[in-house]
């Protein structure tokens, strides 16, 4: 019997569901199976690349595969070069002495900002802890105190025999006054990390009280202040010993065991090593470095008596003769003239010209022309002054003189002549103004370079006149 084959239509189950991102839906008798993307969680990072997998398909073989995300990453081709990383300096902090240096990145791996902490170096000196008590008694172990809260008033420092590290330094502190100089040395009291001495004192003496030492000091300079438990450092500076004093005899000897203040010492022989006290009185003189007695009438003029006027005479003085050696004093208020070795009253109009007396000049006189300088710039004014003389000259500085140049009227009654020269480079660039004068006569002023003019001025009590004379 032949095998039977039966074909029948089977209905798709109505309760079909899907999971894992697959959706099943029926519309108009048609079933649709497709991915449901809303079901899947979106990941912006891959927390486990090796555990995550992708569904892949090979169209050549029709085979489906699973691919790990890490394998995909490992097989991706290299991309283009990224932006260069940057490095910037961040903060720099000073750490405590003895701590380690450190560097931290406050930026990112591609934009690094390095913050650096650098420990400061250890302070010089012996480390102590400051105590605010001003009592000169034993400080605590590793402590010091001052006898006054004001640095400028400190006269003593109490120092424990042991420093802050527990090291006995008393024998060293006790040597601070061993110098044979009056000032034994200096001690600096510096606050840890302050960078500057807060107190500098000169050392007078040190008293060893077994468990602590008292250092007597004098204030030199200081600044700032200390607080309780401040770490401070003592830095001593000892002075050298005083040199040996001379014995008093040395290489030089004298003929006297005592002397008088400001007494002169002389050499007593040619050895240069023996001295003697100076004796004698009178006026001294030096001859080639040798001290001797001056001779009256030769080296000096002797003192005289009386009240006469003196004159030199044979190494001394003698009375001067009136009318021969000098003009005798006169009385009255007349103008004086020489007369036979003396003076007599001069006659106005004969011996001299009196301002309010009519007199005749028997000879002419000369004068020096006053230079008023070179006039340059803009809007300049020249005012002749009688006090500068009756003859004057000025130079107008060519094109460098611009605007209006004012030739002003003298302020006092006078008569004078001013020579005006057009100098400098090019024609005078200014316009001449003589508007202050009551009357102007003569030639017309021209600005031509090299021209010369005489400006003749007459200034009276109530008027003025200017006469311009061209010299071309």
Q: Would you say residue 249 lies in a domain? A: no
Are 414 and 435 within one domain?
A: yes
Tokens standing for 49?
């690349």
238-290: per-residue pLDDT in tens? 888 877 665 555 677 777 777 888 778 888 788 778 888 877 777 888 887 78
Rounded-to-integer distance, Cα 467 and Cα 456, Å:
5
Continuous segment of H or E residues that includes residue 71: helix 69-75
158 pLDDT above the threshold of 90 = yes
Q: Would you say residue 207 lies in a domain? A: yes
Residues 6+ apart with CB under 8 A from 343: 327, 328, 330, 336, 337
Question: What is the chain's mean pLDDT, rounded?
Answer: 84
Summarize the confidence of residues 350-362 as an average pLDDT: 72
What pLDDT band is residue 435 in, cutting at 50, 70 and 90?
very high
Are 99 and 130 within one domain?
A: no
Q: Would you say residue 363 lies in a domain? A: no
159-169: per-residue pLDDT in tens? 999 998 999 99
pLDDT, position 12 = 62
Rounded-to-integer distance, Cα 316 and Cα 364, Å:
49
Residue pointed to by tokens 């290299």? 78
Asked which of 238, 261, 277 is the last residue of a domain, the reply is: 238
Rounded-to-integer distance, Cα 320 and Cα 180, Å:
70
pLDDT, position 32 = 84
Tell me the CB-side half-sphere exposure of residue 100, using CA atoms within 13 A: 3
Of 154-158, 177-181, 362-366, where does mean pLDDT reach its minimum?
A: 362-366
Among 93-97, 119-123, 178-182, 436-440, top mean pLDDT goes to: 436-440
Tokens standing for 73?
């990453």
Q: Is the pTM of this model over 0.75?
A: no
Are 64 and 141 within one domain?
A: no
Selected residue with higher pLDDT from 101 and 441? 441
Selected residue with higher pLDDT from 89 and 459? 459
Are 108 and 53 within one domain?
A: no
Are 61 and 115 within one domain?
A: no
Asked which of 238, 271, 303 is the last residue of a domain, the reply is: 238
**Nearest residue to 66 via CA among 76, 54, 74:** 54
Are 451 and 400 within one domain?
A: yes
Q: Would you say residue 105 lies in a domain? A: yes
CA quadruple 410, 414, 419, 422: dihedral, nearest 10: 20
Give me the count of residues in the chain: 472
Q: Domains in the chain: how many in total?
A: 4
What pLDDT band is residue 60 in, cutting at 50, 70 and 90?
very high
Are 142 and 214 within one domain?
A: yes
- DSSP-derived letter for residue 338 is E
Sign for the pseudo-dihedral over CA of 126, 128, 134, 135: negative
Q: Would you say residue 345 lies in a domain? A: no
Are 102 and 143 within one domain?
A: no
210-221: per-residue pLDDT in tens? 999 999 999 999
57 pLDDT above the threshold of 80 = yes
CA quadruple 64, 68, 72, 73: dihedral, nearest 10: 170
Selected residue with higher pLDDT from 245 and 322? 322
Asked which of 207, 238, 269 is the last residue of a domain, the reply is: 238
pLDDT, position 470 = 96
Q: Would you say residue 285 lies in a domain? A: no
Rounded-to-integer distance, Cα 287 and Cα 165, Å:
75
pLDDT, position 214 = 96
7-56: per-residue pLDDT in tens? 666 566 667 777 877 888 888 878 888 888 777 788 888 888 888 888 88
* Domain enclosing residue 113, as ranges: 90-119
Tokens standing for 470?
């061209």
- DSSP-derived letter for residue 70 is H
Q: Would you say residue 38 lies in a domain? A: yes
Summarize the confidence of residues 308-337 as an average pLDDT: 74
User: What's the farthest any 2 CA atoms get from each other in the chain?
Assistant: 198
């Amino acid at each position: 019997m032949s095998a039977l084959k039966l074909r029948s239509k089977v209905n798709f189950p109505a309760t079909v569901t899907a999971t894992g991102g697959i959706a099943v839906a029926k519309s108009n008798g048609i079933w649709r199976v497709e991915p449901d993307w809303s079901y899947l969680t979106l990941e912006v990072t891959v927390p486990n690349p090796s555990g995550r997998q992708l569904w892949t398909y090979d169209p050549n073989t029709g085979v489906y595969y699973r691919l790990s995300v890490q394998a995909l990453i490992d097989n991706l081709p290299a991309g283009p070069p990224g932006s260069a990383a940057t490095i910037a300096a961040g903060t720099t902090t000073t750490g405590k002495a003895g701590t380690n240096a450190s560097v931290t990145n406050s930026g990112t791996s591609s934009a690094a900002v390095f913050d650096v902490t650098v420990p400061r170096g250890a302070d010089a000196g012996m480390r102590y802890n400051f105590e605010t008590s001003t009592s000169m008694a034993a400080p605590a172990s590793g402590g010091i105190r001052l006898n006054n809260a004001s640095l400028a008033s400190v006269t003593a420092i109490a120092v424990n025999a042991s420093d802050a590290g527990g090291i006995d330094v008393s024998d060293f502190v006790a040597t601070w006054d061993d110098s044979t100089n009056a000032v034994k040395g200096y001690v600096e009291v510096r606050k840890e990390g302050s960078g500057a001495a807060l107190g500098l004192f000169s050392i007078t003496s040190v008293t060893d009280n077994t468990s602590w030492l008292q250092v007597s000091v004098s204030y030199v300079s200081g600044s700032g202040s200390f607080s309780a438990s401040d770490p401070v450092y003592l830095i001593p500076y000892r002075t050298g010993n005083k040199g040996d004093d001379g014995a008093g005899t040395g290489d030089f000897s004298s003929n006297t065991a005592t002397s008088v203040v400001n007494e002169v010492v002389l050499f007593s022989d040619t050895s240069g090593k023996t001295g003697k006290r100076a004796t004698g009185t009178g006026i001294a003189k030096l001859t080639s470095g040798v001290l001797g007695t001056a001779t009256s009438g030769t080296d000096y003029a002797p003192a005289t008596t009386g009240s006469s006027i003196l004159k030199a005479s044979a190494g001394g003085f003698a009375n001067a003769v009136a009318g021969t050696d000098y003009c005798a004093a006169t009385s009255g208020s007349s103008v004086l003239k020489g007369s036979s070795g003396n003076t007599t009253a001069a006659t106005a109009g004969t011996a001299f010209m009196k301002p309010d007396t009519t007199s005749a000049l028997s000879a002419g006189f000369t004068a020096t022309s006053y230079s008023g300088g070179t006039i340059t710039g803009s809007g300049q004014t020249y005012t002749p002054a009688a006090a500068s003389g009756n003859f004057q000259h000025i130079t107008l500085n060519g094109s460098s003189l611009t605007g209006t140049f004012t030739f002003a009227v003298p302020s006092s009654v006078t008569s004078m002549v001013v020579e005006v020269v057009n100098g400098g480079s090019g024609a005078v660039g200014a316009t001449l103004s003589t508007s202050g004068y009551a009357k102007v006569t003569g030639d017309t002023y021209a600005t031509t370079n090299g021209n010369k003019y005489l400006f003749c001025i007459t200034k009276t009590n109530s008027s003025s006149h200017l006469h311009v004379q061209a010299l071309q």
